Amino acid sequence: MDGENPASARFSFEVRGRDAATGARLGVLRTAHGEIPTPVFMPVGTAGTVKALPHEWLEALDARVILANTYHLYLRPGPERISRIGGLHRLISWPRAILTDSGGYQIFSHRELRRIEEEGVRFQSHLDGSSHFLTPESVMDIQRVLGSDIAMVLDDCTPYPCGHPDAEISMELSTRWARRCAVHWSRDCHEARALFGIVQGSTFADLRTRSAEALLDLGFEGFAVGGLSVGEPKSAMFEVLEHTLPLLPDTRPRYLMGVGTPRDIVRAVALGVDMFDCVLPTRNARNGCLFTSEGRLLIKNAAFADDERPPDPDCTCLTCRRYSRAYLRHLYVSGEYLSATLNTMHNVTFYLDMMGKIREAIASKSFGKWLERMEKWPE
Ligand SMILES: [Zn+2]
């Protein structure tokens, strides 16, 4: 039922090609739930659903991996129930790979509801106010129960702006937690599953260096760059990436968490990032914002009321093949459920198609041209 294939049940990553002029690389992640060509975009399915999209549609789009969130699934339906049903893949009927975020970011974004201690984080549920205490070890246990193909360490997500002393304290706590996660994970290590470390350190190069160096010793299967896209200027985000990515081992996958716009993604691929997730395509879809080859399209605009063209003439998704801007606008302004579904279908297709084109461009040695074109994409 959950589609796990024991014959290939060993997590691995292989770099298969490189762009000559940039840091962009082609690769493949192998998991017990299928191969994932990289660079890859992982649609966000926080609570075990990529909001508004049935899983057969995601499969039809050839989404190979989705992201789910440990914090949300821990609160509801809860690890005990998920365990009884046989894991998250089985509960949600998703046979392909799942990466679970540790929940650090979600816990820390509810600032008034949580207290950080050395041992872990104490917080109140945003659902019912109940009290909880999560430790690096318990977050590993929960992700093991979920059956994540890729699990993430619990980290302290530094807010922006943040002074150097506070960023240092936060990064050091994240490092100690990462060590505890690695030790606990290795006690019952399932070789089909991978644990990724998360580099923190806000916008300070020296802290990013120390964070990365400390994580390198802990034997993670991959590395994420965390704490970005939290309000800092774009220039600061790319400075951190340019500084941090070369510190990470070339043989391991690199994951930029929570980024970003199409242009951000293409630029980050050029610096050597392999994996992305972001709520933009799905959240914007529900807010009536469509990503198209000509830029963003705000479907509620009156200009589309009589427009019989598809949202994006260059797109072949189910939405664009059949429905007009006029209809999508009508659905949106009427508050119809189908609006979210059709818009999400299109935006997720746009992101996944873009990643496919990036991979083709790297393979055919034309990534530079692609980069140039995306620089002109009207963001
Ligand atoms: Zn479309």
Percent of the chain with pLDDT over 90: 88
Give residue 377 CA to ligand 1 midpoint distance, Å. Answer: 17
CA atoms within 13 Å, Cβ hemisphere of 193: 23
Give residue 348 CA to ligand 1 midpoint distance, Å. Answer: 9
pLDDT surpassing 60 at residue 19: yes
Question: What element of type H or E holds 56?
Answer: helix 55-60
Condensed to tens digits (0 to 9), the pLDDT of residues 300-330 reads 999 999 999 999 999 999 999 999 999 999 9
Round the average pLDDT of the chain to a whole number and report it.
94
Comparing C-alpha atoms, which of 34, 13, 5 is closest to residue 223?
13
pLDDT surpassing 60 at residue 10: yes
Give residue 93 CA to ligand 1 midpoint distance, Å. Answer: 25
Token pair in block for residue 221: 């299967």
* Burial degree of 294 (CB within 10 A; 0-12, 13-18, 19+): exposed
Give residue 30 CA to ligand 1 midpoint distance, Å. Answer: 29
What's the average model confidence in pLDDT over 130-157? 96
- pLDDT confidence of residue 291: 97
- pLDDT confidence of residue 176: 98
Strands, E, within the chain: which ranges? 12-18, 25-31, 34-38, 40-42, 65-69, 97-101, 114-116, 121-124, 131-134, 150-152, 194-199, 222-225, 254-256, 275-277, 289-292, 295-298
pLDDT surpassing 60 at residue 3: no
pLDDT surpassing 90 at residue 254: yes
Q: Is 101 marked active-site?
A: yes
Query: pTM of the entire structure?
Result: 0.97
Comparing C-alpha atoms, which of 52, 44, 2 is closest to residue 345?
52
Comparing C-alpha atoms, which of 350, 351, 367 is closest to residue 359?
367
pLDDT tier, 247 (very low <50, low <70, confident <90, very high otherwise): very high
* Range of lowest pLDDT (41-45, 118-122, 190-194, 352-356): 190-194
Give residue 295 CA to ligand 1 midpoint distance, Å. Answer: 13
Give residue 251 CA to ligand 1 midpoint distance, Å. Answer: 35
- pLDDT confidence of residue 358: 97
- pLDDT confidence of residue 4: 57
Give residue 312 CA to ligand 1 midpoint distance, Å. Answer: 6
Give residue 360 CA to ligand 1 midpoint distance, Å. Answer: 20
Active-site residue (options: 274, 277, 312, 353): 277
Q: What distance in Å separates the CA atoms of residue 34 and residue 195, rounded to the nearest whole number?
A: 17
Percent of the chain with pLDDT over 70: 98
Q: What distance in Å separates the CA atoms of residue 377 and residue 263, rounded to the nearest whole number?
A: 7
pLDDT tier, 5 (very low <50, low <70, confident <90, very high otherwise): low
What one-character-per-residue DSSP string does 163-199 give? -HHHHHHHHHHHHHHHHHHHHHHHHT--TT-EEEEEE
Q: Which residues contact residue 291 at a Cβ distance below 8 angstroms, ignoring those fewer than 6 apart?
A: 262, 281, 284, 297, 346, 347, 350, 351
Condensed to tens digits (0 to 9), the pLDDT of residues 84-138 reads 999 999 999 999 999 999 987 888 777 778 899 999 999 999 899 999 999 999 9
pLDDT tier, 64 (very low <50, low <70, confident <90, very high otherwise): very high
- pLDDT confidence of residue 2: 47
Give residue 283 CA to ligand 1 midpoint distance, Å. Answer: 16
Strands 289-292 and 295-298, bridge-based pairing = antiparallel
Condensed to tens digits (0 to 9), the pLDDT of residues 187-227 reads 987 789 999 999 999 999 999 999 999 999 999 999 999 99
- pLDDT confidence of residue 112: 76
Active-site residue (options: 19, 101, 312, 353): 101
Residues 170-202 as b or e (16 or more Cβ within 10 Å = b): bbbbbbebbbbbbebbeeeebebbbbbbbbbbb
| First and final C-alpha spacing in the chain | 42
Q: Is 353 marked active-site?
A: no
Q: What distance in Å separates the CA atoms of residue 104 and residue 120, rounded to the nearest whole number?
A: 10
- pLDDT confidence of residue 1: 42
pLDDT surpassing 80 at residue 296: yes
User: Which is more confidently placed, 124 or 378?
Assistant: 124
